[in-house]
Chains A and B, each alone.
Chain A
């Protein structure tokens, strides 16, 4: 088990903010593939990342395109694994991506009671994620760097999937 207790101290311009200690259990997902995954029905889409992927060919910066591709692939893979564990899992809204004026890409995942977002920057060290929720879900306002993408996505999905 790997525990992540995120920094609760905030400093100017830094992204270590967190209002919750995030505890996750890492498991080996190297065997998790899309093979045999159930057909997902997400608002008429077969997978929630398809729409966001359509942005990739429009991205000029290779580093941004590669990060986005990796992010979306990882999210889809983890959702498919979760889908196998929870056959009733459905109605996951699509991720939306758009290219910002400075060449970065914003990825947004909109749910009625919470939002998850990613900013993919030309400098990967500046890429980040955030989660905000309303009163129903304890009013989280959490953000951080996207360094350990695998662990971050897994942690976020542990929040997202039970709260859909």
Chain B
């Protein structure tokens, strides 16, 4: 499986950013237990940045109703090197990962994965690390 150097996380609302600023907080990657899959992974959607056009593609993604833009605030760009570093640092590699998971209308789609066996403390550490490594690009006005 080929993975590009960066991936993108859409930012749906300003709750994911530091109040009044553009630094992402740990709500950017919730990893809620309710989203846990049968294989034990909790996925959070990303788009793999196979080319520079994926930023615009992500910003143009619509909500299920097909009307509103899904990521009204902008996008966060994450280097894959950080994901690889976290994979080594979170203790056991089986607890953290990433994947490609193309959708019918999105070839770039993938997931960042955290095992549902990871305690909340360590999960929050991962969430913070992902937020810290993210570079936010706010949607330009108009």
Contacts and interface: CB of A to CB of B under 8 A. Distances in A.
Contacts of B19: 96
Interface stretch (A71-79, A108-116, A156-164): A108-116
A134 interface: yes
B63 interface: no
Interface residues of B, number: 27
A128 B120 contact: yes
Contacts, number: 88
A128 B23 contact: no
B138 interface: no
Describe A's contact surface by its main secondary structure: strand
Given A101-B32, A108-B128, A141-B129, A130 B86 contact: no
A143 interface: yes
Interface of B: 18-19, 23, 25-27, 32, 85-86, 89-92, 95, 117-122, 124-125, 128-129, 131-133
Interface of A: 10-15, 17, 19, 96, 98, 101, 104, 106, 108, 110, 112, 114-115, 117, 119, 121, 126-134, 139, 141-145
